[in-house]
Amino acid sequence: MPIIPTVPRTYADAHTKFTILLGYTGNLDAIAAEILNEGIDGSCRVTKEGTRYSATDSATETGDAALCDEGAPETLGNSNYEGRLEVFRYFNSENPGAHDEEADEIFQALKVKGTTVVIVIRETGKRYDLDWESGDEYSAFRVDTDNWQRQQNMTGYIKRTIPTPVQSAELNGVVAAAAAGG
């Protein structure tokens, strides 16, 4: 007999909140809602196809095998992550040769190589446009920006890819009720 789900599955579209924290140096495992809600909301300003933050296969190490072992046992080593984002560019409608101060803030904040930021992603049953709240699950990635890259396909909207090597991550974060000390 097939297993029947007791709760409806959640459709992924419009259920990913993407927040960029500038200057955040705290722990990644329990960021306060007030800090997250003050971050830059990139949910509608980065592309689905060109943005990826995830764990990848951990490094493995071959253990010392005993004479009686069949094969070479492997143990898990360091965790590995990948990170890159593709951001839409926004230009000033009155001066189209210059960026728009507000709408283009993600590219402006991340365009210099070596900028350190924290990317926080909530992918749950909550819509992207709902504020962060205590108890929300998320993944967070502390990244350094590399040089941005021009799009290869010069069709569609103008966008830039920014490689962001991950320095540390928390895949199972939960939003804290209040900031530490407050």
Distance (Å, rounded) from C-alpha 119 to C-alpha 45?
Answer: 14
Confirm whether pTM is higher than 0.85.
yes
The DSSP-derived string for 53-70 is EEEEPPPEEEPPPPTT-S
7 — pLDDT class (breaks 50, 70, 90): confident
- Going from the C-alpha of 117 to that of each of 9, 143, 181, the distances in angstroms are 32, 6, 22
- 45: which 2 tokens? 């300003």
For residues 153-178, give the mean pLDDT: 94
Res 73: pLDDT: 78
Residue 172 reports pLDDT greater than 90: yes
Tens digits of per-residue pLDDT, 98-156? 999 999 999 999 999 999 999 999 999 999 999 999 999 999 999 999 999 998 877 88
Residue spans per domain, the chain:
16-55+76-174
Distance (Å, rounded) from C-alpha 155 to C-alpha 160?
Answer: 13
